[in-house]
A = this chain, B = another copy of it.
């Protein structure tokens, strides 16, 4: 749950504040969608306002500017992904399974029409101060993935590999989906997430396991 700075604990929101927060979330959704479709630089505040069915001026009542919109989009996405990463780690499952969960959560977060945001892909567009905060969060997330990989290697569940490079390869494969995925296409976000996880995990699974890992869904969707 993202929280906007309002000087009160979440429980003590007044009605007006709750309404404002709801409006902020709507705007962020519109911004997120537009950034994903056209990229940050090519997106105008007017586009965002139009997507949110608001006038351009009012956006500045809720956010400081275009940069802050990008910042919050990235911040929310990274928070959700980080949450999923930590949940996976706490599960105590084998590294392959943890990795699978993280991948699935990442893809769903990206492709989910309502909350997702590919906006974290454009860190460089942020002004220095905001960029520093996002870069820190992003690096923490990447580091978490690297640790997950390293732990799996150490336990013999994953083959020895350059964790940094593999993490980036995985993130590239995942983030790229925001570019080519079409909501009206044949696959659902869950399908995509699942298939990506199978492939990307198989490349790391050690020895005996590998042979057993199929890249085909065992059960086609919608069939008993």
Q: List the interface of chain A (C-beta within 8 A of B).
A: 38-42, 121-122, 124-125, 159-162, 165-166, 168-177, 179-180, 187, 192, 195-196, 199-204, 207, 210-211, 214-216
Contact = CB atoms under 8 A, between A and B. Distances in A.
Given A124-B38, A169-B196, A195-B162, A207 B211 contact: yes
B172 A176 contact: yes
Contact of A41 (B41, B201, B204, B215): B41
18 contacts: A40-B42, A41-B41, A42-B125, A159-B202, A160-B214, A161-B199, A165-B196, A165-B199, A166-B199, A168-B173, A168-B177, A169-B196, A172-B172, A172-B173, A172-B175, A199-B203, A199-B204, A203-B204
Of A168, A172, A216, chain B has the most CB atoms within 10 Å of the CB of: A172
A215 B162 CA distance: 7
Please name the 10 residue pairs, one residue from A and one from B, whose CB atoms are nearest each other, closest first.
Answer: A172-B176, A203-B203, A41-B41, A161-B215, A41-B42, A169-B173, A172-B173, A173-B173, A202-B203, A165-B195
Nearest to A191: B165
Nearest to A216: B160
A176 B180 contact: no
State the majority secondary structure of interface residues on A: helix
A177 B166 contact: no
Contacts of A122: 39
A176 B166 contact: no
Contacts of A200: 169, 203
A215 B177 contact: no
Contacts of A168: 173, 176-177, 180
Contacts of A179: 121, 172
A40 B122 CA distance: 12
A126 to B, nearest CB: 12
A223 to B, nearest CB: 16
A199 B160 contact: no
Contacts of A195: 162, 165-166
A62 to B, nearest CB: 16
